[in-house]
Amino acid sequence: MDIDGEGDSMDELKSLRITTLDDDDEDITVDEDDNDEDDEEEEEEEAVILGFVEKPEHNWSLLRQQFPSKTGGVPAWLDPENLPSGMPCVCDICGEPLQFLLQVYAPLVEKDSTFHRTLFVFMCLSMKCLLRDQHEQWKRHPDKQSRSVKVFRCQLPRTNPYYSSKPPEGNATDRPLTPGAPLCNWCGTWKGDKFCSSCKVARYCSQKHQVMHWRLGHKLECQEPSLSPQASDSSTCHGGIGQSRAPIVASKSLWPEYEMKNEHESEYDTEMSGDEGHTDNSLITSNRVDDGMKSLMDNFEGDGDKKSWASFQERIAKAPEQVLRYCRSAGSKPLWPILGGRPCKADIPLCSYCGGRLCFEFQILPQLLYFFGVKNDADSLDWATIAVYTCEASCEGVGYKHEFAWVQLGTSINCPS
């Protein structure tokens, strides 16, 4: 049927050339093979951008009008009004509101609608939920999956109601054009569309957070509204039209906030001398990762896993403090630490909005947990990698679109095959 639309199919051909010229129907059988041998070679050719965490230089550096990439703290929502609400904000397994993990500012130059584009990752704090999530992701019915890790994509054209079309000055004078939706006073993360019934000032995303706040301080505050931060400084409560600092958040359990800085992986190519990561900056490898992973090596059954782990380690050792690897180009693939527990193409759902393919965009490394101060206990949150797949077309639409995360845990025992 496509034969007539020559112009269109030329474009499609370009992007599909790597896989096959045949019908979609054949993809599943053809692509399963992809999983096995040829990843490593292709991987070497991809230009990967690495993400590193740093304490923010200024208190305004991570505000949304600066279009930051950041980890921990609260999200700097790109579209400050049409925030996700309801079910998307909670863990599908335990029902707790999800915690903000990180966001990556990743605009795409090819179209105006993606002039600004940010990807947000949230997860449940419970390792039990992540283990359940791990099983769910293998079910090939995306609409029925119960997940504890969720990814949202938001994009805006250059001319939009929320930000100036001029680039930010990169200083404290930058202001967004609108205040944005009021946020939960407890988590500072999700929309605060429920009020404290007593003072009618404090706002919450959920009853759970209202109860938390009540127990841990609001009970007193509530009787004297002048004490509460939102009453004394309205600019912070609403994400502020004159927002020059981050909103005040009552919860003390958010992860520590860092700015994420990018570097090309190629810049680290010459720094390694075959010393297997025992360089000065091998803080992480010598500390958290080595310990956890040595015991993990014992669980590996085949040589495949050991080989896969060794080549993963070798690659990561170029810059052991990396927390994120970004590579959005045709055919790019995650660097899998372990052979087992990798998805094949049929495990990656189609975009639930446009029906198009999802492609790999970035992966999150467990080094981030070290910077977050997460303990290395048996029941602490842990993962080998989280790979994020997003709509290849980065399809249009207002607000936040669900994308897909694939979690690979530290052992291959959960894999079906």
Looking at 106, 151, 184, 387, which residue binds Zn ion (CB under 5 A)? 184
Residue 85 carries which DSSP code? -
- 67-94 as b/e: b if 16+ CB within 10 A: bbbbbbbbbbbbbbeebbeeebbbbbbe
Question: Residue 317: which of 337, 303, 298, 301 has the closest Cα?
Answer: 337
Question: Residue 154: which of 122, 121, 180, 120 has the closest Cα?
Answer: 120
How many whole angstroms from its chain centre is CA 141? 22
Amino acid at 408: Q
CB of 114 to Zn ion, least distance (A): 12
Which one of 6-14, 19-27, 219-227, 239-247 is the stretch in contact with Zn ion (CB under 5 A)?
219-227
Range 67-126, binding Zn ion (CB under 5 A): 91, 93-94, 124, 126
Binding mask 378-397 for Zn ion (x = CB under 5 A): -------------x---x--
CB of 199 to Zn ion, least distance (A): 3
CB of 206 to Zn ion, least distance (A): 6
Range 220-239, binding Zn ion (CB under 5 A): 222
313 binds Zn ion (CB under 5 A): no
Which one of 134-142, 199-207, 341-349, 404-412 is the stretch in contact with Zn ion (CB under 5 A)?
199-207
Q: At what angle do helices 303-316 and 290-299 cross, to 10 degrees?
A: 160
348 binds Zn ion (CB under 5 A): no
Q: How far apart are CA 352 and CA 237, in angstroms?
A: 34
Q: How far apart are CA 92 and CA 132, in angstroms?
A: 10
Residue 399 neighbours by CB distance under 10 Å: 15
187 binds Zn ion (CB under 5 A): yes
Nearer to Zn ion, 122 or 326 (CB): 122
Range 146-165, binding Zn ion (CB under 5 A): 148
Looking at 62, 102, 127, 196, which residue binds Zn ion (CB under 5 A)? 196
User: Which parts of this chain interact with Zn ion (CB under 5 A)?
Assistant: 91, 93-94, 124, 126, 129, 148, 184, 186-187, 196, 198-199, 202, 205, 209, 222, 351, 353-354, 356, 391, 395
